[in-house]
């Protein structure tokens, strides 16, 4: 595996390769134990803390930051015998949809190296797609698992908020995000999810899943399952090839017995701006701790007082997209604006939640495209933040409502993969796996 | 020139009292031990209280009960659900550059609000009580303005605090001080906060004079300092009417306040709900259970002392102003039931002594049995009040039994006093002669006797012995018929 990683260094999937630690983990693994991930090579997004392995979040500010503790999910996968092979590249602090906003350079899409792998968990997706990791963990604040899964022809799941421990995940938008699997198959995603859903007392929002085994839901029959297709998910910015491929799959599901009906998510058009306001507001507070005083990049020139030290460390350490979001988030929470921005966004969030609640009385699941477009070219959207934000239009509702959502490959166009998104009610990942494995069976896409 | 009265100045003082919940064994959001004072700087810290990337707070559920006890003692309303907010500000003592606290706007619900505490100068309304984390501690070389550096100790970061916010109902610095002492006694009685630990109870004050702007004073380390800082502010604001709304820092060494920042209102803190902590439900059952186990509070205890032990209200008030003193009182009473004697010593003599020495009640050396022993001697009439007090002053610094001194005093029992009287008569034969005709001169002889015994004689006994001797001698001196 480590030789292959070296051969594919041009993809820039990893920020840090943890060969030494991997060897120690491999030696410690007890083959007799009933572990579910024995010797599985796992790539971990670089915002998930790993004791003794630097965790940069794709930021210059944390270039040399080495956590003292393992994230909850890392302890759980290591306990299951998995081997962490490295830490994957990402948009700085998760802020991006293309893995171009990394202090360690952009990651490339293994299907076409002139294109982006999606983001922000682009390194994790590229590593799995290129075969330089068996499976990977990413994090998803507004689509950061599903977007790169879609762009790299993989399965990626954002679990229900609270299902997976966030302890050790460096927060971006902490009311929105979850850690989840990025794998080649629905089966692997179900298996990996089964291994990371222990309730973690260190995360007050962690609920855990109890005794359910997702891996047992895979080959179930979907006869009679009620699927809603919100027309809003096929908005004007949606590429015709994506629409075509997703609808083709929907019709195939219908043939398998699914009851398909078109519907609407009226709040979708408010979802994206509200999402960005909440995520940026939370980020402005979550990222305040990075001042260089206790860890991370520190100005050695000798600032005269603490505030000029903080200013210098943060000016030098953060990239421009991170600064943009901190500034906007700070503004959205400021006196005189909080009503118009942050609090209004929270009201929108409540509306979105209740709309999905109502929809899930009529439907077992909702389906649409994961991404409105095919993977775009490196550099194509970096100078146009709004165009970049728009790519999250279909993925953010799941984060706003705390719902589980998966991206499963459903086809391709010009040799580029297309992903289909399935959303289900909270803690109904079982429905997602049922439909997801059927999509996998009937779709023309085969992961290379 | 007429001395201006506080009431003429329209003084309004409000307090924000931060009290650490010292009864908790761990910090508010992590399992670091809470007795941070016992450790080297920056040694009781972990990823959570240091706010390392990815760490999450986990609420120490016991803090809810402690805060509710305070809320009940301060007659507050307790909402059924309470939640946490972030207060965002950059400062080196705050590892995350935000503080997890509670808030009363934008959907925030603190643990309790709308309470009151009755003081001798009137009712003081409690605006709210909130739970929050203590920041770390900064130390300076000299004072904050001139120090070339600041050192940060994060041991204190994450310690559970409750902030008790009053309405501006306090009328003068003395009132503020009285309120603080009473509050401290309540906190001690309900067993949540040990006010004798350095920095466990701290107060920020805000003060305005009629027509002036509200000024906040930070860094007031003790109740004595509250008094000083407020008095300084009153003088300063009288000289500079109008003024600006600002936050000032109390410099304990120079005893002045200096401008820290001008007009930082709470809206600068970008409060928003803490996503990492779920709202906490406070059940009616829990409140009822806490009410049922609520210990006796200082006011109730004071009333009981008056009814049961017949001490004066003033004495009872002083004794119950500190739990340690009230406990001590009751322990002594159990050993020697002389409440008035013991009450007097505890309310007057001992505080006077402690004040002269700059000591805290908990630093007195004697134990209840020492005081009981002394009180018994006085109650039995073996020594008089003056002697008892002088022995008290001798045993206080060393913390020993009064026995040794009582033995010396016992030389002043009746036979020894007779000898003294004989001596006084021999030395003052003229006066003795006069006393036979003029009873007023007896007082002179008693005075001489008191002088001989350095005041240790029982006044009544001495009078009795002198009168007896006078009549005996006049009988024996009668010319034989
Ligand atoms: Zn700690």
Partner residue opposite A289 with nearest CB, options B57, B95, B271: B95
d(C-alpha B65, C-alpha B71), whole Å: 10
CA A32 to each of CA A35, A36, A84, B394: distance values in angstroms, whole numbers, following the listed order: 8, 11, 20, 77
Which one of B267, B291, B315 terminates a domain? B291
- Is residue A308 flagged as an active site residue? no
The answer to whether residues B48 and B55 touch, using CB atoms and an 8 Å cutoff, is: yes
Strand, helix or coil for residue A302: coil
* Chain Cα centroid distance, residue A21: 25
Same domain, B91 and B42: yes
Q: What is the mean pLDDT of each run of 10 residues along chain A (448 residues)?
A: 89 94 83 83 97 96 95 95 96 97 97 96 97 97 98 98 97 97 97 95 90 82 95 93 96 96 94 96 97 82 79 91 96 89 95 97 97 95 87 96 97 95 96 95 73
Q: Identify the closest residue of chain A to B30 by CA–CA distance.
A: A202
**What's the first-to-final CA gap in chain B, in angstroms?**
77
Q: What integer pLDDT is reported at residue B475 of this predicted model?
A: 65
Dihedral over Cα of B335, B338, B341, B344: its sign: positive
pTM for the predicted model, two decimal places: 0.87
User: b/e per residue, B211-247, with b = 16+ CB within 10 A?
Assistant: ebeebbbbbbebbebbbbbbebbbeebeeeeebeebb
Q: What integer pLDDT is reported at residue B264 of this predicted model?
A: 56
What is the number of alpha carbons within 13 Å of residue A334 lying toward its C-beta? Answer: 9
Beta-bridge partner residues of A369: A420
Q: DSSP readout, B158-179?
A: T-EEEEEEE-S-B-SHHHHHHH
User: Is A316 within the bounds of a domain?
Assistant: no
Same domain, B342 and B449: no
Total domains, chain B: 3
**Pseudo-torsion of CA B359, B365, B371, B374, nearest 10°?**
-110
Q: What integer pLDDT is reported at residue B326 of this predicted model?
A: 94
Residue-wise pLDDT tens digits, B222-260: 788 888 899 998 888 888 776 778 888 888 888 888 887
Query: Best of A50, A63, A162, A167 to disrupt the B interface by mutation (most B CBs within 10 Å)?
Result: A167
Pairing verdict, β A416-423 and A405-413 = antiparallel
CA A448 to each of CA A123, A184, B229: distance values in angstroms, whole numbers, following the listed order: 17, 9, 75
Q: Which two tokens stand for residue A293?
A: 């005083």
Whether A171 and B59 lie within 8 Å, measured CB to CB: no
CA angle A247, A387, A57 (to 5 degrees): 100
Residue B340 has pLDDT above 60, yes or no: yes
Q: What integer pLDDT is reported at residue B183 of this predicted model?
A: 94
The answer to whether residues B126 and B165 touch, using CB atoms and an 8 Å cutoff, is: yes
Query: Best of B90, B135, B269, B272 to disrupt the A interface by mutation (most A CBs within 10 Å)?
Result: B272
* Chain Cα centroid distance, residue A358: 26
- Is residue A334 flagged as an active site residue? no
Q: What is the DSSP letter of A231?
A: G
d(C-alpha B252, C-alpha B59), whole Å: 35
Residues of A in contact with B101 (CB under 8 A): none
Residues of A in contact with B96 (CB under 8 A): 288-289
User: Is A75 within the bounds of a domain?
Assistant: yes
Q: Which two tokens stand for residue A16?
A: 């840090």
Which one of B392, B410, B428 terminates a domain? B410
Beta-bridge partner residues of B251: B256
Which residue range(s) make up the domain with B403?
296-410
Between the CA of A196 and the centroid of ligand 1 the distance, in Å, is: 25
Which one of B410, B437, B456 terminates a domain? B410
Q: What integer pLDDT is reported at residue B2 of this predicted model?
A: 44
- Is residue A120 flagged as an active site residue? yes
Partner residue opposite A174 with nearest CB, options B152, B275, B278: B275
Residue A105: closest CA among A124, A118, A89: A89
The answer to whether residues A372 and A382 touch, using CB atoms and an 8 Å cutoff, is: no
Of A8, A45, A381, A434, which one is the catalytic site residue? Answer: A45
User: Is A61 within the bounds of a domain?
Assistant: yes
Q: Identify the closest residue of chain B to A290 by CA–CA distance.
A: B96
CATH number for position B468: 1.10.10.410
Same domain, B424 and B355: no
Q: Which two tokens stand for residue A326?
A: 């901190």
Chain B contact for A342 (CB, 8 A cutoff): yes
Beta-bridge partner residues of A227: A260, A365
Residues of B in contact with A202 (CB under 8 A): 56, 58
The answer to whether residues B51 and B200 touch, using CB atoms and an 8 Å cutoff, is: no
Q: What integer pLDDT is reported at residue B453 of this predicted model?
A: 78
The residues, ordered by sequence, that sit 6+ positions from A311 with a Cβ below 8 Å of its Cβ are none
Between the CA of A50 and the centroid of ligand 1 the distance, in Å, is: 19
CATH number for position A43: 3.90.1300.10
Same domain, B85 and B199: yes
Same domain, B310 and B358: yes
Same domain, B420 and B385: no
Of A59, A97, A120, A121, which one is the catalytic site residue? Answer: A120
Residue carrying structure tokens 């083709």: A248
Same domain, B276 and B393: no
Chain B contact for A24 (CB, 8 A cutoff): no
Residue carrying structure tokens 């599903």: A146
Residue carrying structure tokens 């002392």: B305
Q: How many secondary structure helices (H) and strands (E) does chain B include?
A: 17, 15
User: Is A277 within the bounds of a domain?
Assistant: no
Same domain, B365 and B404: yes
Strand, helix or coil for residue A429: helix
Same domain, B75 and B209: yes
* Assembly ipTM: 0.93
The answer to whether residues A185 and A156 touch, using CB atoms and an 8 Å cutoff, is: no
Whether B272 and A333 lie within 8 Å, measured CB to CB: yes
The residues, ordered by sequence, that sit 6+ positions from B75 with a Cβ below 8 Å of its Cβ are B115, B116, B117, B126
Total domains, chain A: 1
Residue-wise pLDDT tens digits, A94-140: 999 999 999 999 999 999 999 999 999 999 999 999 999 999 999 99
d(C-alpha A153, C-alpha A128), whole Å: 10
d(C-alpha A54, C-alpha A77), whole Å: 18
Partner residue opposite B56 with nearest CB, options A167, A288, A291: A167
d(C-alpha A427, C-alpha B24), whole Å: 36
User: Is A345 within the bounds of a domain?
Assistant: no
What average pLDDT does range B305-328 have in this prediction? 93
Residue-wise pLDDT tens digits, B388-420: 888 898 888 888 888 878 776 665 677 778 888
Same domain, B268 and B354: no
Same domain, B362 and B270: no
Residue-wise pLDDT tens digits, B271-300: 999 999 999 999 999 999 999 999 999 999
Which residue range(s) make up the domain with A204?
2-264+359-442
Residue B379 has pLDDT above 80, yes or no: yes
Same domain, B65 and B197: yes
Q: What integer pLDDT is reported at residue A128 of this predicted model?
A: 98
User: Is A340 within the bounds of a domain?
Assistant: no
Whether A343 and B106 lie within 8 Å, measured CB to CB: yes
């Amino acid at each position: 595996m480590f030789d292959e990683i070296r051969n594919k260094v041009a993809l820039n999937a990893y920020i840090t390769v943890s060969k030494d630690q991997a060897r120690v983990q491999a030696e410690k693994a007890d083959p007799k134990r009933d572990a579910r991930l024995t010797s599985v090579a796992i790539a971990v997004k670089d915002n998930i803390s790993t004791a003794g392995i630097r965790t940069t979040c794709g930021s210059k500010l944390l270039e040399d930051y080495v956590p003292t503790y393992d994230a909850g999910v890392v302890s759980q996968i290591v306990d299951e015998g998995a081997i962490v092979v490295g830490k994957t590249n990402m948009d700085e602090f998760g802020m991006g949809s293309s893995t171009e906003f990394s202090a360690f350079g952009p990651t490339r899409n293994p299907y076409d190296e002139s294109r982006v792998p999606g983001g922000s968990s682009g390194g994790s997706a590229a590593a799995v797609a290129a075969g330089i990791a068996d499976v990977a963990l990413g994090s998803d604040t507004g689509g950061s698992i599903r977007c790169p899964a879609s762009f790299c022809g993989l399965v990626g799941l954002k679990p229900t908020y609270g299902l997976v421990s966030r302890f050790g995940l460096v927060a971006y938008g902490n009311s929105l995000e979850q850690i989840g699997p990025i794998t080649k198959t629905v089966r692997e995603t179900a298996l990996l999810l089964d291994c990371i859903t222990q309730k973690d007392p260190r995360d007050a929002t962690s609920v855990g899943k109890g005794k359910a085994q997702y891996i047992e839901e895979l080959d179930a029959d979907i006869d009679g399952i009620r699927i809603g297709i919100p027309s809003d998910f096929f908005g004007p910015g949606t590429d015709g090839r994506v629409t075509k491929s997703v609808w083709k799959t929907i019709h195939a599901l219908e043939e398998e017995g699914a009851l398909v009906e078109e519907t609407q998510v009226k709040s979708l058009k408010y979802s994206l701006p509200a999402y960005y306001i909440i995520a940026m507001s939370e980020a402005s507070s979550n990222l305040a701790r990075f001042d260089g005083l206790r860890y991370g990049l520190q100005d050695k020139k000798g600032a005269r007082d603490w505030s000029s030290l903080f200013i210098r460390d943060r000016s030098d350490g953060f990239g421009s997209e991170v600064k943009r979001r901190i500034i906007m988030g700070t503004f959205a929470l400021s006196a005189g604006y909080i009503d118009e921005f942050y609090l209004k966004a929270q009201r929108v969030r409540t509306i979105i939640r209740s709309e999905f609640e109502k929809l899930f009385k009529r439907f077992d699941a909702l389906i649409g495209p994961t991404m409105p477009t095919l993977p775009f070219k490196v550099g194509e959207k970096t100078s146009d933040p709004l165009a970049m934000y728009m790519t999250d239009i279909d993925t953010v509702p799941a984060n706003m409502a705390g719902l589980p959502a998966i991206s499963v490959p459903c086809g391709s166009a010009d040799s580029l993969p297309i992903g289909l998104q399935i959303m289900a009610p909270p803690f109904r990942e079982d429905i997602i796996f049922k439909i997801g494995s059927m999509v996998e069976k009937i779709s023309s896409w085969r992961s290379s | 020139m007429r001395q201006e009265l506080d009431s003429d100045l329209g003084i309004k003082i409000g307090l924000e009292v931060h009290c650490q919940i010292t009864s908790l064994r761990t910090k508010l959001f992590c399992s670091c031990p809470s007795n941070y004072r016992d450790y080297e700087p920056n040694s009781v810290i972990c990823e959570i209280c240091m706010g390392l990337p990815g760490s999450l707070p986990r609420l120490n559920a016991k803090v809810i009960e402690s805060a509710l006890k305070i809320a009940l003692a301060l007659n507050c309303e307790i909402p059924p659900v309470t939640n946490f907010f972030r207060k965002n500000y950059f400062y080196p003592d705050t590892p995350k550059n935000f503080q997890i606290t509670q808030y009363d706007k934008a959907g925030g619900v603190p643990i309790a609000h709308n309470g009151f505490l009755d003081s001798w100068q009137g009712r003081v309304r409690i605006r709210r009580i909130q739970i929050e984390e203590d920041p770390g501690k900064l130390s300076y070389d000299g004072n904050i303005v001139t120090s070339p550096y600041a050192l940060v100790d994060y041991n204190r970061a994450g310690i559970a605090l409750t902030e008790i916010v009053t309405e501006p109902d306090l009328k003068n610095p003395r009132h503020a001080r009285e309120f603080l002492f009473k509050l401290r006694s309540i906190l001690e009685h309900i067993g949540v906060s040990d006010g004798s630990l350095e920095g466990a109870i701290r107060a920020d004050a805000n003060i305005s004079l009629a027509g002036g702007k509200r000024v906040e004073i930070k860094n007031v380390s003790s109740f004595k300092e509250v008094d000083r800082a407020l008095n300084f502010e009153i003088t300063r604001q009288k000289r500079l009417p109008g003024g600006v709304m600002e936050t000032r820092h109390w410099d304990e060494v120079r005893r002045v306040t200096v401008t820290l920042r001008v007009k930082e209102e709470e809206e600068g803190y970008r409060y928003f709900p803490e996503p990492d902590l779920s709202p906490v439900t406070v059940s009616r059952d829990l409140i009822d259970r806490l009410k049922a186990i609520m210990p006796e509070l200082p006011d109730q205890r004071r009333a009981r002392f008056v009814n049961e032990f017949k001490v004066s209200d003033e004495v009872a008030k002083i004794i119950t102003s500190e739990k340690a003193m009230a406990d001590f009182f009751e322990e002594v009473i159990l050993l020697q039931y002389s409440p008035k004697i013991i009450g007097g010593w505890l309310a007057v003599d001992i505080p006077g002594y402690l004040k002269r020495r700059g000591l805290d009640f908990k630093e007195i050396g004697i134990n209840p049995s020492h005081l009981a022993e002394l009180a018994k001697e006085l109650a039995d009439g073996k020594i008089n009040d003056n002697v008892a007090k002088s022995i008290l002053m001798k045993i206080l610094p060393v913390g020993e039994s009064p026995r040794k001194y009582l033995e010396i005093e016992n030389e002043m029992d009746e036979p020894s006093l007779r000898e003294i009287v004989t001596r006084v008569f021999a030395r003052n034969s003229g006066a003795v002669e006069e006393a036979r005709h003029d009873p007023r001169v007896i007082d002179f002889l008693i005075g001489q006797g008191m002088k001989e015994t350095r005041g240790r004689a029982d006044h009544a006994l001495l009078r009795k012995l002198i009168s007896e001797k006078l009549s005996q001698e006049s009988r024996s001196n009668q010319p034989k018929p």
